[in-house]
Amino acid sequence: MLEQLNIQLLLNEFKMKLNKIIPIFFLLYLPTVYSQSVGSIGLSDARSLGMAGTYVLSAKGLYSIGINPANLNYGNQKNVELILPLPLPHISVKAGTNFLTIEEYNYFFGYSTINKQGEKVGRYLTEDDKSRLKNLFKDGGSISVENYVQLFGLAITPSNKFGTIAFAIGDVVSANIIFPNTIIELAIDGNKLNTIYNFSQTDLKSWWLRKYSFSYSNSLIKIPAIKNITFGISANYIQGFSYLSIDKVNTEILTDNNYAFSGNSSFLAHSAFSPDFGVNYDFDTSPDRETSWSAFPKPAGTGIGIDLGIVLNLNNSWAFGVSITDLGSINWNQNVAEYQSNNPVYLDDLTNQSSVDSLLDLLSGKNSGKIINSIKTSLASALHCGLSFQSDEIFDGTLPGKILFEIDYNKGFNIMPGNSIKDRLSFGVDWGLTRLFSFRTGVSFGGIDKFNWGLGFGFDFNILEINVGTPDFQYIISPNTAKRIVVGIDSRWKF
């Protein structure tokens, strides 16, 4: 009995923290307009998604904004490019995990039956089942949700000498959550004697940003042995409408020979919301805020970001590109709250409800919140490198159409939403079978997703281009093994 109560105590703590997190997602995903994604693993245009997130050199024109602004100015481009909601909106969506497939979820959590007493019961796990489930959570459980749409984009090339200028506007909504493996260990093994339970794996980062990008790209003076060098820069004015983070969790609990709890509850979390969202903190005694939804809510914070890129066209076949994106930060100064706790915990009598409630208050951070003036967060800064090869110059027409091969390396500098400090390597192919139709595919290794197999296609009607792609085609042909769903569609006008 004591063992079951101990398990329930810790699971209740986790549940109480989730109850604070879940309402935030409704605030984050109520908007219907999203824009240029950021970071080393964030969503991109549909063409690049079909190439498994390979884009450093292949994403050109307006698609290069937020990736490599040097590709804003490229050969054979039209004088004007436009991205509008019609005929297809420029949108990509992602939701899922990196550790649990649909088949595994249904096996461990979706199965139920009725016992002899008429009660609904779940699956009885064997020892092999328990080991398998714990192994799935060995690195913690990561859940990612992201939405990306470029609401509007305009690029103009007055002349080859002048170069290309562009303006784009839109939003990015991104959230990453990591659940600690301790939760599963407690649920499966119970509260073991003389065992330390650590919750430091817990992590949460989410935000809703609006980005106004002003970009310029042009060719540099030619250098011998290099056909062309193009540079690009984007200056981004950023408005932040919501931010939520768990910055530190050092909660650690030890059980002794009598199932008594002792340890320390330590964590730090922040949140900020637009005044128009009507968010009222339970500790705030000021008058309740009213909700006022609009397409242009008041920001909770603002910031400046810079994207820099360069492309070296070595000859007609080979090209090399490097970019650094989202160098900058956001200062959140509206409706900012801080939750901080660093308290010893002890409980030796689980039958004393008052003591249990006091412990739960400590673990969940109740009454620890306060309004602060501001917090400063980095953008999802990342490095992108790419090498591409155009086949038609080498094979001299022996292959149908034109084939672009590209290999990319991406690495984030921090763990902000849409970013990962884990290296990501991708290889993509864009095969223009005819002037009208292109086929794309690719594979990606590393990052949060670990592996992607992309597939997509595009239609180019001269003045209108339409693209569809997914970096997770392996889950379409084998849906039971799916861990997530990612898809992108877009259209671009060219005059």
Establish if 351 belongs to a structural domain: yes
Give me the number of domains the chain comprises.
1
Higher-confidence residue of 113 and 10: namely: 113
What is the C-alpha separation between 416 and 380, in angstroms, rounded?
A: 5
Mean pLDDT score, 131-147:
83
Give the tens place of pLDDT for each residue, 445-458. 998 888 999 999 99
CA separation for the pair 194, 177 (Å, rounded): 29
Residue 112 maps to a domain: no
β-bridge partners, 93? 147, 487
Omega before 299 within 30 of 0, i.e. cis: no
pLDDT tens digits, residue range 331-340? 999 999 999 8
pLDDT for the residue numbered 356: 64
Residue from 245, 242, 301, 199 nearest 415 by CA? 245
Query: Contacts for 155-160 with beta carbons within 8 Å, 24 or more apart?
Result: 155/61, 155/62, 155/72, 155/80, 155/81, 155/215, 156/79, 156/80, 157/73, 157/77, 157/78, 157/79, 157/80, 158/79, 160/219
Cα 367 from Cα 371, distance rounded (Å) = 12
Task: For helices 2-29 and 181-189, give the axis angle rounded to 10 degrees.
Answer: 150
Mean pLDDT, residues 224-247: 93
Helix, coil or strand: residue 307: strand
Q: What is the pTM of this model?
A: 0.84
Looking at the domain assignment, is residue 122 inside a domain?
Answer: no
Pick the more confident residue, 202 or 83. Answer: 83
User: Which of 36-45, 57-66, 135-144, 475-484 shows the lowest per-residue confidence on average (mean pLDDT)?
Assistant: 36-45
Is residue 92 within 8 A of residue 485, CB to CB? The reply is no
Confidence (pLDDT) at 231: 96
Say what the pLDDT of residue 461 is: 95
Domain residue limits at 475: 2-99+137-494
From CA 428, how far away is CA 52, in angstroms rounded? 7
Rounded CA gap, 172 and 417, in Å? 10
Percent of the chain whose predicted confidence (pLDDT) is above 70: 87
- Range in 142-151, 316-325, 432-441 the model is least confident about: 142-151
**Is 253 within a domain?**
yes
Per-residue pLDDT tens over the stretch 86-107: 999 999 998 888 888 888 888 8
Residue 170 has pLDDT above 90, yes or no: no
Q: What is the rounded average pLDDT of the residues 357-374?
A: 75
416 in any annotated domain: yes
Let me know if residue 264 belongs to a domain. Answer: yes
Residue 14 confidence class, pLDDT cut points 50, 70, 90: very low
| 14-23, 205-214, 274-283: the lowest-pLDDT one | 14-23
Does some domain include residue 119?
Answer: no
Flag whether pLDDT at 4 surpasses 60: no
| 118 lies in some domain | no
Q: Across the chain, what does the average pLDDT equal?
A: 84
pLDDT at position 288 over 80? no
Q: What is the CATH number of the domain that holds 285?
A: 2.40.160
Mean pLDDT of 45-66: 94
pLDDT at 35: 36
Which pLDDT score is estimated for 366?
67
Question: What is the reported pLDDT for 23?
Answer: 41
Residues 6+ apart with CB under 8 A from 179: 14, 137, 140, 141, 143, 201, 202
Position 258 confidence tier, pLDDT thresholds 50, 70, 90:
confident
Confidence class for position 414, pLDDT limits 50, 70, 90: very high
